[in-house]
């Protein structure tokens, strides 16, 4: 499969050019609009940007790590294309990643290799690929989620049906004590609607590596996928790093400290994030024919 239109990387020293490929528009599929988008507040022409870099601390070169003959970044790109909600661009500062994505038929954009965060890389890619601001929203999809389901990618847009929400993200309820106490698992404190047993979206009050809130739950595992309104992303990347962001090492706290609103959509499962060699082996197991 190929992305819908979009932009493509001509060579290592050239800017992006309009793609010659034909295809459907960048709008939501009719089925998705009917099920997932209750109001026009949700961005109607979103773009998915997958930031990636080779210099991962615990697993260097992981975007091009082989998973059954296919680089990991290509697995993620394919899942994003299958979500069928807009064009997909991989944003990176490494030509090895660009080559892998191009070979698979995808769109890749070279960005500043010195970006401090994935959000900064996503912003540069969106600004470069869409200077006329045709896309009113952007999904920041991590490049180390090769098993993510397309339905989960689509779900992250749902909180933006509320016009008061600036940024949307995902969470899953924690059921295991080991996960609840693990500092590598980021927890979200959510304000859910009172008395709404079937509520699937909640307002994020805080994020922490500690077990919050204390004592009884529910506790929520934050999944680092974000959907920004375009203006919200432009505002976010201009904000200075706040005290809480520095303390927790979580960039989403920058938005909360600045008074921006983040809402989270609850999902049933947490997609596997590949951060270590053990994670990579698990991804290979899950993506093997008949894997579980």
> pLDDT (tens digit, 9 = 90+) per residue, 227-249?
999 999 999 999 999 999 999 99
Tens-digit pLDDT profile for residues 101-138: 999 999 999 999 999 899 999 999 999 999 999 999 99
Task: Concatenate the DSSP letters of all residues of 140-195 into one string.
Answer: E--TT-TT--HHHHHHTTGGGGSTT-SEEEEEEE---HHHHH-TTSPEEEEEPPTT
Query: Measuring CA to CA, how many Å separate 7 from each of 16, 94, 108?
Result: 6, 18, 8
pTM confidence score: 0.84
| 196 vs 178, more confident | 178
Read off the pLDDT of each residue in 49-67 and give the average, rounded to a whole number.
Answer: 93
Share of the chain above pLDDT 90, in %: 76
Nearest CA to 147 out of 3, 289, 274, 1 is that of: 274
CATH domain 149-270 topology = Spore Coat Polysaccharide Biosynthesis Protein SpsA; Chain A (3.90.550)
Q: Which fold has domain 42-144?
A: Spore Coat Polysaccharide Biosynthesis Protein SpsA; Chain A (3.90.550)
Q: Which residue has the tokens 């959907």?
A: 227
Domain with CATH 3.90.550.10 in the chain: 42-144, 149-270
C-alpha 48/C-alpha 107 separation (Å) is 11
* Token code pair at residue 134: 């045709």
| Mean pLDDT value of segment 59-74 | 96
Q: What share of the chain is helix, strand, coil (3-state, %, to 5)?
A: 30, 20, 45
């Amino acid at each position: 499969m190929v992305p819908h239109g979009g932009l493509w990387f001509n060579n290592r020293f050239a800017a992006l050019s309009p793609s010659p490929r034909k295809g459907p528009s960048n709008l939501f599929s009719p089925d998705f609009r009917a099920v997932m988008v209750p109001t026009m507040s949700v961005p109607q022409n979103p773009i998915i940007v997958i930031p990636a870099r080779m210099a991962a601390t615990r697993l260097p070169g992981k975007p091009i790590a082989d998973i059954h003959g296919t680089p990991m970044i290509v697995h993620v790109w394919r899942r994003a294309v299958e979500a069928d909600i807009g064009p997909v661009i991989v944003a990176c500062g490494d030509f090895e990643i660009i080559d892998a994505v191009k070979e698979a038929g995808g769109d890749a954009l070279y960005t500043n290799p010195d970006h401090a965060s994935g959000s900064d890389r996503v912003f540069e890619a969106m600004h470069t690929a869409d200077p006329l601001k045709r896309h009113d929203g952007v999904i920041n999809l991590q490049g180390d989620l090769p098993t993510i389901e397309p339905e989960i990618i689509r779900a992250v847009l749902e909180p933006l049906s509320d016009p008061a929400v600036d940024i949307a993200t995902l969470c899953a309820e924690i059921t295991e004590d080991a996960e609840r106490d693990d500092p590598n698992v980021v927890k979200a404190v959510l304000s859910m609607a009172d008395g709404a047993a079937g509520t699937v979206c909640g307002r994020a009050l805080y994020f922490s590596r500690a077990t919050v809130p204390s004592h009884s739950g529910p506790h929520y595992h934050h999944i680092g996928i974000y959907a920004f309104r375009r203006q919200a992303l432009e505002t976010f990347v201009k904000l200075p790093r706040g005290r809480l962001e520095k303390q927790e090492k979580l960039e989403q706290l920058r938005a909360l400290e600045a008074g921006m609103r983040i809402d989270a959509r609850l999902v049933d499962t947490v997609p596997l994030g590949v951060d270590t060699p053990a994670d990579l082996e698990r991804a290979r197991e899950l993506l093997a024919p008949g894997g579980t």
